[in-house]
Amino acid sequence: MAEHNADRDDNPTALVTGGARRIGAKLVQTLHDAGFRVIIHCRRSRDEADALAAYLESERRDSARVVTGDLADPATCERVAEEAIAQWGRLDVLVNNASTFYPTPVGTITADAFDDLIASNLRAPTFVAQAAAPALRERGGAIINIADVHGERPLADYPVYCAAKAGLIMLTRTLARDLAPDVRVNAIAPGSILWPEGPAGDDPTKRQAVLDATPLGRQGTPEDIAGALLYLVRDAPFVTGQTLAVDGGRGL
């Protein structure tokens, strides 16, 4: 995607799902710093989304908005995309970042957990992308799906999550073919970037095991994911259908 100046009519627009907190908030901030107007989607984190939007508005007027909704509902996916496009009458980039992550060991998997993990990690990106596709085609835009290294390298006790992310990687490839040549579609597969919230992320033994399994011997940062996002959005006009692992080598 070409560079854009600060003129209001030329500023590109990006929708980031799950953009209020953690890695999503860093992706929003990075796109904003690069000259994008941003639409921050959230489900429950409205206070954080509003605070982030207010901060970005203080940096550059008329540059940040918030949309809300539970993307488990395909109708809500369509509404969120439509509201995002309506903010400034265009959409140049869609970042499918919203996700749920929790274990489902074999023997404990329920239909509700299965549906929830598939809905957030695969179904929602499908329906948001479908609704956004016409506007993205008009702009020669891009879709970036936030996948996971465990979409290709299984994680013990997370079979449903891993299957959903594997599906997202294949969705990336099929959308890249179906939306070409107008829209580029790529994915980023993070390794360990932020520890999970709650007990799953508090165990020092598990943390050390993750680091030991990472050839670079350290955890990544949200800035690492943001850098990959900018590359795929701005600096890779001949790249589509690819999954870029940002994992310190953990997938090797």
Tokens, residue 104: 């489902």
Q: At what angle do helices 111-118 and 159-179 cross, to 10 degrees?
A: 30
Conformation bin of residue 107: beta by default, left when phi > 0, alpha when psi is -120 to 50: left
Q: At what angle do helices 124-139 and 74-88 cross, to 10 degrees?
A: 30
Residue 9 pLDDT: 59
Tokens, residue 222: 């949200």
Q: Which of 55, 102, 161, 231 is catalytic?
A: 161
DSSP 37-98: EEEEEESS-HHHHHHHHHHHHHHSSS-EEEEE--TTSHHHHHHHHHHHHHHHT---EEEE--
* CB contact set of 71 (below 8 Å; sequence gap of 6+): 17, 41, 43, 77, 80, 98, 119, 120, 124, 127, 128
Residue 118 pLDDT: 98
**Residue 124 backbone dihedrals phi, psi, to 5 degrees:** -60, -50
Q: Is 231 a catalytic residue?
A: no
Residue 4 pLDDT: 39
The dihedral over CA atoms of 194, 199, 96, 8, expressed in degrees to the nearest 10, equals -60
**Residue 106 backbone dihedrals phi, psi, to 5 degrees:** -55, 130
Report pLDDT digits (tens) over 214-241.
999 999 999 999 999 999 999 999 999 9
Residue 45 has pLDDT above 60, yes or no: yes
Instruction: Flag the least confident range among 130-144, 171-185, 208-222.
Output: 208-222
> 14 has which bridge partners?
38, 93
Which amino acid appears at position 19 of this protein?
G
> 126 has which bridge partners?
none
Q: Which domains does the chain have, with CATH numbers?
A: 8-246 (3.40.50.720)
Rg (CA), the chain: 17
pLDDT greater at residue 198 or residue 208: 208
- SS3 label, residue 157: coil
Mean pLDDT in residue range 108-133: 98
Q: How far apart are CA 179 and CA 71, in angstroms?
A: 22
